[in-house]
Structure 1
Amino acid sequence: MSEFTVSGRYKNRDGYRAFETTIDAVNEDVAREHVLSQLGSRHGVKRTEIELEEVGE
């Protein structure tokens, strides 16, 4: 498993909020899915309200 750093922004009631998180995943696609599900769960935002800008190893 590799460590990926995912950054982007999500929509909240005040506009957009930037984020950057590090996650262990098998590949880049799995890392994207984990981040989308975690942000959606924690902040109550839909996947369409999350913009992933960069995914790097």
Structure 2
Amino acid sequence: MSEFTVRGRYPARYGQQAFETTVDAPNENVAEERVYANFGSQHGLKRTQIEIDGVDA
């Protein structure tokens, strides 16, 4: 598995909160899905609320 860095934004109390997280995944699509799942469970967000700006290997 490769390590991907995912950058994006999600709505917080006082506007948009930027994030950058590192995820182990076999490809970029799976890395995005894991970010959606993690932020959804940790912050109670829906997929439509999370904006992914980019994925780097």
Shift of 1:14: 1.8
Please name the residue that 1:6 is paired with: 6
TM-score scaled to structure 1, two decimals? 0.95
TM score, norm. by length of structure 2: 0.95
Distance 2:43 2:28 in 1: 22
List per-residue Cα deviations over 1:32-54 (Å, max 9, x = no partner): 00000100100111110000001
Structure 2: state its 5+ residue gaps: none
What is the match of residue 28 of structure 2? 28
Unaligned runs of 5+ in 1: none
Please, what is the CA RMSD of the aligned residues? Answer: 0.7
When the two structures are aligned, how many residues end up with a matched partner?
A: 57
Q: Which moved more, 1:42-51 or 1:6-15?
A: 6-15
Identity %: 60
Once residues 44 and 25 of structure 2 are traced to their aligned partners in structure 1, the CA distance between those partners, rounded to angstroms, is 23
